Amino acid sequence: MKSSKLSSFFLFIKRIFIKEEKKIDNNQIISKIEENSPNNVSIEKKEFKEKRKTTYDSSKPPTFLNLKALIVEDNPINQKMIKYTLKNIGIDCDIADNGQIGVDMRSKNNYDIIFMDIQMPIMNGIEATQAILKYEKEKNLSHIPIVAVTANALKGDRERFLSEGMDDYVSKPVDFKRLVTVLQRFCSDKQINNNTKDILLYKETQTEAKIISAILQKLGYSVDIAPTIEKFKKEIDFNNYRTAIIDRVKSDTIHQDITQKIKSKNIHSMLFIDDQVSIDSNDKETYTHVTHSITDFKHIQETVNSMLKPL
């Protein structure tokens, strides 16, 4: 019975999409899909919103992408411990052995966050922070968050460090949960979502995207619609998907960039290309399926089912 209903659903969508698209507007098409779907599928009309995990879950340590930190610390053991901890969650680190070196490195490099020890020779952490703030102001640069890292914490230390221009405070030995909380506060835009989703979808025409999304959701799959190709690139970087479905963009450079991202993720993928365009051999090697047709919704169903077999 379910198969029969789905077949009717696909035929209905195909009919209105091919024959009626020029006669009715997008909202009417979507309304007809919702009315005639077996279980009144509701299509998400809002633009895709980013969903970031902002609270720490010890069972799923977070991962960060393209995040670089500067560790200003004179103790070699502490240097190694902090660097090792950050490296395990995807963060690249530079080390400065004292405050003066830290200031010099800040002036020559760009970082996402700075971890600043307080008691150091030559220039201490507070002096280094003030020098960095002065440099940023003089050069009209965006501020890099500076987090104080110190042992023997006393009551009122956090307030004192904040009053000196630092942005937050962690005590030694560094607690991993606390460190993650600080990173999520200042660098949430570079945190990867470790929860695996089913499908990331990009279609140049939003009506097509909503139709395909409705079909796939009806089949029980979770679908994120990327409204733009730039959003698609960002989401595939920061989230884990089991498969990607995408239109072939006109720009060869952007297409090659996206193809490389999909290849690096090692996930199933489906590429739609124009009827007049021949299938490229490189695309056939990278994408699980390459197809000209976008109106054969039954084929889309079968293809996605084959790509998303139970893990």
Domain count for the chain, please give it. Answer: 2
Q: Give the domain CATH number at 116.
A: 3.40.50.2300
**228 and 268 assigned to the same domain:** yes
30, 136, 118, 29: which is closest to 72 by C-alpha? 118
Within-domain flag for 49 = no
Q: Compute CA 285 distance to the chain's CA centroid, rounded to the nearest angstrom.
A: 25
51: three-class secondary structure by DSSP: coil
Query: Cα(269)–Cα(242) distance, rounded to whole angstroms?
Result: 9
Q: Do the domain assignments include residue 152? A: yes
Same domain, 152 and 249: no
For the chain, 311 residues long, give each residue's pLDDT as a single digit of tens.
444 444 544 554 455 444 444 444 555 555 555 555 544 444 343 333 333 344 444 456 678 878 999 999 999 999 999 999 998 888 999 999 999 999 999 999 999 999 999 999 999 999 999 999 999 999 999 999 999 998 766 667 778 888 899 999 898 888 888 998 999 899 988 887 666 678 899 998 888 888 888 888 877 788 889 999 999 998 888 777 888 889 988 888 999 899 888 888 888 888 888 766 677 778 888 888 887 755 555 666 677 777 766 54
Same domain? For 70 and 159 the reply is yes
3-state secondary structure of 223: strand
- Residue 54 maps to a domain: no
Instruction: Give a yes or no: residue 111 inside a domain.
Output: yes
Do 213 and 248 lie in a common domain?
yes
Output the CA–CA distances (angstroms, integers) from residue 45 to 31, 41, 153, in the order listed: 11, 12, 51
246 and 302 co-located in one domain: yes
Domain of 120, in residue numbers: 63-174
In this structure, the answer to whether residues 142 and 82 fall within a common structural domain is yes
Same domain, 70 and 14: no
Q: Write down which residue in 174, 199, 230 finishes a domain.
A: 174
Res 296: pLDDT: 57
Query: Which residue, of 119, 142, 174, is where some domain finishes?
Result: 174
**How many Cα neighbours within 13 Å face the side chain of 68?**
8
Residue 53 lies in a domain: no
Asked, for residue 184, whether it belongs to a domain, the answer is no
Check residue 51 and give its pLDDT.
38
Do 224 and 252 lie in one domain? The reply is yes
Statement to judge: residues 197 and 280 lie in one domain: yes
- Among the candidates 174, 201, 226, a domain finishes at 174
Q: Which pLDDT does position 21 carry in this prediction?
A: 43
